[in-house]
Amino acid sequence: MESKTMIRVNLVDGNKHVFEMTLEQFEGKVTDTDKSFGKKLYRIEEVLINPEHVTSVVQFEKKPVKVRNARGIY
């Protein structure tokens, strides 16, 4: 099982959204050709993001959870 690269987008109102993408992919979606935040809404998966309301974006690795085969007493 491989780990997945994820980002967490934090907004000014305290909402947080998690997407399966890299920081570079997110940046490519929400910036104009001059690398400044665009002044429009951007759709990422099922969420519309206004880049002017983003406070931070954190990239992390989501590792698969290992589940042991546990026997219980019934």
Q: What is the pLDDT of residue 21?
A: 97
14-53: pLDDT as tens digits:
999 999 999 999 999 998 888 888 789 999 999 999 999 9
Q: Which two tokens stand for residue 72?
A: 């219980």
Per-residue pLDDT for 67 more than 80?
Answer: no
Residue ranges per structural domain of the chain: 4-62
Mean pLDDT, residues 1-14:
92
Domain 4-62 class?
mainly beta
Give me the torsion for CA of 56, 59, 64, 65, rounded to 10°.
-40
Residue 70 is given by DSSP the state -
Is the pLDDT reported for residue 69 higher than 80?
Answer: no
Q: Indicate yes or no: pTM above 0.85.
A: no
Phi, psi angle pair for 31, to nearest 5°:
-115, 155
- What is the model's pLDDT at position 32? 84
